[in-house]
Structure 1
Amino acid sequence: MDDIESAAEVRYTGEKGLEDALRGADALFVYDFLSTAVPRAWHAADRMRWVHIASAGVDPVMFPELRESDVVLTNSRGVFDDSIAEYVLGVVIAFAKDLPRSLELQRQVRWQHRETERVGGKRALVVGTGPIGRAIARMLRATGMSVAGMGRRAREADPDFGSVHASAELTRWLPEFDYVVAVAPLTGQTKNMFDAPAFAAMKPGARFVNVGRGELVVTADLIAALRGGELAGAALDVFDTEPLPPDSPLWSMENVLISPHMSGDFVGWRNTLVEVFAENFRRWHTGRPLRNVVDKQLGYVPSGQ
């Protein structure tokens, strides 16, 4: 932040001081991207022109007053793409090669030979065709998996997905895939898209991976599908309530892999997020176009931005 401090008055604050800090401020850097404080303090933003959030998801700041204003919103798209793709590849291999069971048997000092699955030849549907979804598709394809995407509009000959299916036809396409990876942004259209009918439509033996937003999933329906055998397993990095409550049945399910919203958090990611903001600040300060401008009606950065 040194270069920014030399060019502007910088006010550092937590949630309690946000209202005072917003008065007279031209720009806001939401470094704590999980905070819900901005909507409550927004009435004090009397000259705000630009808000930047240190995440790819922008739902914490998509409240009506900001959405309907002329304030430009940018995000940190691009920072976590490859790291999240590596996480997805890791859990796919962990499922296929039964690694959680191997670790459990190791702790029990038990030698139990088993046969495992091949990854090559399996089919994956990546729901969300932004940069993170594309990185996931490229990484899974490198293992010999067949990958398709799902987005707002259907199309063919996509460079990363090949075929992209329309999200309105989710239940039609789910039976075709061994792995379903949720990485869609949270919008009015995607909230609760993975519900009981969606899980019931999945191929027997399919696994579900969520690295998008917890609210994409109806958690009770997911638990019921796992208990009922409609799903062979789930790898979950995000949840509708975080931290995941200690009494959640998901903790004790043998076919569930849980991580605490960390799939993209590589060593050094915090500094990288500040660097992204600093580069955009230099653009803003010199009148150049900002990067990663969010379409506030869509809730994400459109392709090509």
Structure 2
Amino acid sequence: MTAPVPPARPDPPARPIVAVLCADRRPPGMREVERGADVRYTTADRLAGDLRGADALLVWDFRSSALEAAWPAADALRWTHVASAGVDAVLFPALRDSDVVLTNSRGVFEGPVAEYVLGLVLAFAKDLAGTMAAQRERRWWYREAERVDGATAVIVGTGPIGRAVARTLRAVGMRVEGVGRGGRGHDPDFGVVHGLDALTRRLGHADYVVVAAPLTARTTGLVDAAALAAMKPSARLINVGRGALVVTADLVAALRAGIIAGAALDVFDTEPLPAGSPLWSMPNVLVSPHMAGDVVGHLPMLAALFVDNYGRWRRGLPLRNVVDKYLGYVPVPAAATRD
């Protein structure tokens, strides 16, 4: 059962203390926040000390897992904002069960991730990696490419990123369907959405399986040996969600055995991907360093979203992108699925 979302209007003090967890780069465009608040730019090793007395926290270094260890020092915290779409790194039980409001950066990454997925689909269909390898070898290697028009994509995850992927792939003539938390027909972006319990049955229809779901207790390890075995031998897996959605050992075994034709992975259960991982050298695998949503100008966009939410918080207005901490993502009303 889903717990109620905490109130989205935590009243700030006259001059709040805002902690900002960052690594080597501070967020740009913070002058408006600095004018009206005491801003503590901090790092993982100093976070506990800087959280004491802080009213709000910006997790700019969204890959950091330092907040859980520092949480006992959060004696005044009312609001935490994460500079990413996924919030799994901060959804430890103490924060989830607290009254602290959690917001994310929904709205920044959807379009870029969808473009990246389309690029990966085209790279596989047109064998761009093979063409580039042949060019480096000065080898004239003629062969026929695949069409994407008419190919089928099963998109696992029907939130804003999954929807943007669906619209983008449909624009080049692909057939799409979704697999999400609940099934429904006549969806404006997917046509049909199947429940997670139907995942294995739907995978056999896919030429491309795109994983874009949030990481929750229910989705961890979702793509395992059984799911991979249900895919067509000619199918490719694309993961732009979270690494732990896919069981890495099962994927490596499936690729080696020819159970699926290939995989494009932008996220991994351990990041950076260790140098000894077999994924680096597999000829049917494309590896990228968690960059599908990162485009030129995305850092100012992330900072601007936080600054806008900060202004709302100071004025007592509803915050944007309030996460249901028990679901693990921002619920989207059915009427807003095309936003």
Aligned residue in 2 for 1:50: 79
1:1-305 pair list within 5 angstroms: 1-304=30-333
d(CA) in 2 for partners of 1:154, 1:180: 18
> 2:278 corresponds to which letter in structure 1?
P
d(CA) in 2 for partners of 1:258, 1:17: 33
Instruction: Spell out, residue by residue over 1:169-211, the C-alpha distance to the aligned partner (whole angstroms, 9 max, x if none).
Output: 1111110111000000000000000000000000220000000
Deviation at 1:7, TM superposition (A): 1.3
Q: Distance in 2 between matches of 1:231 and 1:241?
A: 23
Instruction: Give 5+ residue unaligned stretches, structure 1.
Output: none
Query: Could you tell me the TM-score, scaled by structure 2's length?
Result: 0.89
Q: What root-mean-square deviation, in Å, do the aligned CA atoms of Structure 1 and Structure 2 show?
A: 0.8
Q: Deviations over 1:230-289 (max 9, x none)?
A: 111100000001111111111111110110001111011111111110000000000000
Secondary structure at the counterpart of residue 199 of structure 1: helix
Tell me: higher relative CO, structure 1 or 2? Use CA pairs within 8 A at least 6 residues apart.
2
Using the alignment, how far apart are the partners of 1:39 and 1:109 within structure 2? Answer: 53
Could you tell me the percent identity over the aligned residues?
63
Tell me how far apart the structure 2 counterparts of residues 215 and 78 of structure 1 sit (CA, whole Å): 23
Task: Give the residue type in structure 2 aligned to 1:230.
Answer: I
2:223, 2:118 → 1: CA distance? 21
The code of the aligned residue for 1:134 comes to R
Helix, strand or coil for the counterpart of 1:251?
Answer: helix
Work out the CA distance in 2 between the residues paired with 1:127 and 1:303.
Answer: 16
Distance 1:244 1:17 in 2: 26
Matched to 2:254, the amino acid is A
Q: Structure 2 unaligned segments of length 5 or more: list them.
A: 1-29
Runs in 1 of length 4+ with deviation above 6 angstroms? none
Q: Distance in 2 between matches of 1:303 and 1:203?
A: 32
TM norm structure 1: 0.99
